[in-house]
Amino acid sequence: MIQCKDCEFCQMSPDGRRTFKCDPFINIKEPECIAKWQLIRLDMLLVTYRGMQQWQEKIAPLQDKIFKYMEREMGDIDESDKWKIDDDEKNEDDKLL
C-alpha cells in the first residue's frame, strides 16, 4: 500500500499541513485511499459540527432572552384582548338565562 506522503496527490506544507488533491471519483490509486478519504471527510464533518455547536452555545443566552421576550409580548397581547372575550362570554351567558 502506498502511503499518502509518498503519493503525488498529497502535498505537505512547511507547517506540517497536508493538502490532498485526490478525488475518489477520478484519481484514486489504491482501494485504501477511499477509506482514508472517507476518514478525512468524516473528520471535516466533525470539525464543522463542533464549530456549529460552539456557535450555538454562544447564541443560547440570546435565544433564551428572545423567547422570554416573545412570551411576555404574547401574554400582553392576550391580556389586552381579554376584555373582548370577557364581554362576549357575558353576553352569551345572559342569552342562555
pTM of the model: 0.55
Measured CA to CA, the distance from residue 28 to residue 19 in angstroms comes to: 15
Q: Are 19 and 10 in contact (CB under 8 A)?
A: yes
pLDDT of 94 reads 61
pLDDT of 59 reads 95
Q: Are 25 and 36 in contact (CB under 8 A)?
A: no
pLDDT of 69 reads 94
pLDDT of 43 reads 93
Measured CA to CA, the distance from residue 39 to residue 27 in angstroms comes to: 17
Q: What is the pLDDT along the chain (97 residues), one digit of tens a residue?
A: 778 878 888 888 888 888 888 887 888 788 888 888 888 889 999 999 999 999 999 999 999 999 999 999 988 887 777 767 666 566 666 665 5
pLDDT of 86 reads 64
